[in-house]
Amino acid sequence: MTSRSLIVAALTSAALLVSPTVALAAPDAGTLPMPPPPAATAKAPAATTDAGTPGPTDAGTAAGAPAPAKAAVAEAPPPPPQKVAPDTFDNALKAYFDGKPRDAAGPLYAWLQATPRTDDNYAWGQYFLARSLIDLGLTHAGATYLARIARERSNPNVLPRALDALKGLTDRPHDEVMIDEQVFGALDLGFLPDETGAYAHYQQGLVDLRVGNERWANTHFSKLPETSAEASHAKFALLVTRLKQVKDPPEEMVKDFLALSQDEKLTREARNEAALAVARLRYEKKDFPGALEAYGKVKLPELDPGRASLYLEEAWTRYKLGDLRAALGILTTLDAPTFRDEFMPDKYLLRALIFRDLCHYLPAKRAAKELTRRYADSLESVRNREDLSQDARLRRAANAHGGTQRAAKFVSLLDLEGERLGRYAGSFGDRLFGHLTRLYDLSHAEAVRVYDARLQEAVRQEADTLLRAAEQVRLMEYEVGLKLYERVKKGAQVVAAEEEEMLSPAQVAFKFDNEYWNDELKSYRVRIESRCIEETP
């Protein structure tokens, strides 16, 4: 069964970054004032950078002095911003509200480039450019402009809208550092509306928990309304943090997790994680019936095949209860095509243990050998001290959960949006298209760096899991080999067969014909007799 360290790791990966699902705010939602009509357009500065601030002049070039030799290969300075018509901002807003974000994005960017940051409508221009990009499926580019508004805080009327839109992006792959830490984790909380302030308190409390400062985290969490979803998520994060710090979790902690598993303010995923926490803690306390009951509280969508890890943990629990045939039936479920690529070395160990306990020694030996056969390439890579991140099976296992999974999804999102950006090359214009191309290139390089760092640690943990399982099956093979050649003493008899539980009138049994149906995955049972011998006195 999963060791305590793996239990805590599984809980931690799901707890500290749970965010409530929030709908995107409509551009005209709420009572916030709309931007006033633009005043007379100010003349653009003589030279500005891409950000709209005055750029440095090249004194040597202006004086006509010869440039040094290295200047010949230096990058050319960015072209000065083009002048825009006075009604550019109004026309762009009209295009956006007419449902034409593609027509609005290019003019808004050109207007921002030609307008000083002190203009009353500058923050509104950033906001509607961000919303246009998000509507076009370029969510990361839109989030970048929303984050700028949150950091600059130049217009108090725009800021709440920008924060609401950012909050709506946190339920999908996003730049965790830019949004969670640099925006919500660093906001001045005194001026925010209640709902946005609660979310910011929650994120800042999570940041404190990650660095081990629970007292500061409690200060933020205590300001959350008790009836809010953020308060329930905060309780879950605190419980997981405390679980890592205690060797023998008290029963009160189990009850707290159980209460969260029934909290309707949490998402279904968060409630399931709380139920799994109850099951795992009860398993550690050897309360196997209680653990099995908690596994039954995990609610999945109808016809959902379920989680491989959940099935495997339930199989271990049934094995500990002595229900070997039900445990073997769950292992049959894990042979379904849906789960065949899952990284589950313990599955083969458990199957070998069940066959051994039923004295089917040859099947037990075959099950043990199946692990080393299936994972032979990965085990060879570990022994040869190769780069484990290049092993396809270990890499897939590392990408299946935790921070590595989130980082991989964000890299995939940047790849997808980078390809999508090419569709708008003509309508955006050279300047906006070039700017967004550079933005996605830099963001992708940083996302890959973060992903590679997390991947290295994750594949090492998966390799440790594989090595432990491989060592246990080698011991199993040795033990089964001794049993095969053990002499049977005179007078020994076969253990009496267990009586099978009769089916109720509401139940129907079908013989398994190697077809897997999602609605049947939880009900497989194996009919197998024990071959064990008991000695008579």
pTM across the whole model: 0.77
pLDDT in tens, 229-249: 888 899 999 998 988 888 888
Average pLDDT score, the chain: 82
Q: Return the pLDDT at 494.
A: 60
**Cα separation values, 284 from 280, 309, 525, Å:** 6, 16, 26
Q: Return the pLDDT at 36.
A: 47
Distance between CA atoms of residues 378 and 380, nearest Å: 5
Distance between CA atoms of residues 499 and 175, nearest Å: 58
Task: Kindly indicate the confidence band of residue 305, based on its pLDDT and cuts at 50, 70 and 90.
Answer: confident
* Closest by Cα among 373, 372, 366, 336 to 351: 366
Distance between CA atoms of residues 462 and 272, nearest Å: 23
Q: Return the pLDDT at 66.
A: 44
What average pLDDT does the segment 518-535 reach? 79
Distance between CA atoms of residues 426 and 442, nearest Å: 22
Q: Is the pLDDT of residue 263 over 70?
A: yes
Q: Return the pLDDT at 76.
A: 56
Residue 397, H or E segment: helix 392-398
pLDDT in tens, 404-452: 999 999 999 999 999 999 999 888 989 999 999 999 999 999 999 999 9
Considering the chain, what percentage of its residues have pLDDT values greater than 70? 80
Task: Kindly indicate the confidence band of residue 123, based on its pLDDT and cuts at 50, 70 and 90.
Answer: very high
Q: Is the pLDDT of residue 398 over 90?
A: yes
Q: Tell which wins on pLDDT, 77 or 172.
A: 172
Considering the chain, what percentage of its residues have pLDDT values greater than 90? 45
Q: Return the pLDDT at 26.
A: 38
**Cα separation values, 7 from 14, 96, 243, 289, 507, Å:** 11, 49, 10, 18, 35
What average pLDDT does the segment 204-208 reach? 89
Q: Is the pLDDT of residue 120 over 80?
A: yes
Q: Is the pLDDT of residue 44 over 50?
A: no
Q: Return the pLDDT at 413.
A: 96
Please give the domain boundaries of the chain with CATH numbers for all domains.
84-183 (1.25.40), 369-486 (no CATH)
Other beta carbons less than 10 A from residue 369's beta carbon:
15
pLDDT in tens, 46-83: 444 444 444 444 434 434 444 444 444 455 565 666 67
Q: Is the pLDDT of residue 12 over 60?
A: no
Q: Return the pLDDT at 500.
A: 64
